[in-house]
Amino acid sequence: MFGVVFPDHSFPLDATAFAQVAPNSWALDLSALNLAAAPRSAVVFLLPAAAAALPPGKAVAVYYQPAANRPFAFLGALGPGRPSASLPLPEAGAGDDPGEPPVGPAKLGVAVEDAAALPPPPDGQRAERVALRVGENLFNFMQSFCGADGGKLVVPTDILDRWFRKFQERAKKDPTYLKTFDF
């Protein structure tokens, strides 16, 4: 159904590397992988058949527990519209009480959950996705005015001003418009 790669640390691991801890939840004990160092990120992906078979309204939520005495933190979610993601993994001591050292192995958790009930992604990822969507909007707008000149995109010199005015006008007319740039 899903898999994970820890860049510079492992080969792709499929769902069989995870222990099923509940009917729709799995956990991977990172100590079992014998990694030389704690990974800084994980690339989590849905296999094509799983992405297509995911029930409507459901998502595959990804969580990370940096140590056994730390809570799981929501990293993001996957679904048919986003079948893979590169997710940063927080360090065990980041933002913790300095009086209580991290104890026990780190774990990566994966669960099939209601998409509407999931928390918003961490701000850094959210900002990145919003910026990407705004950039796509600008590119599509520019394409509608462009001409081709030897494989280069040629647009009017005031294209950014025109796009930004249109963007602002639409946001003023429709208060939900800006929310469409967030996923």
Q: What pLDDT does 60 receive? A: 94
* Closest alpha carbon to 15 in 48, 40, 46, 61: 46
Give the per-residue pLDDT at 122: 66
- What pLDDT score does 125 carry? 59
Would you list the domain boundaries of the chain?
2-119, 123-181
The alpha carbon of 136 is separated from its chain's Cα centroid by a whole number of angstroms, namely: 17
| Cα dihedral sign, 156-159-165-169 | positive
User: Mean pLDDT for each 10-residue chunk of the chain (183 residues)?
Assistant: 84 86 93 84 88 89 90 90 86 59 86 90 64 78 74 78 87 77 58
Output the pLDDT for position 51: 80
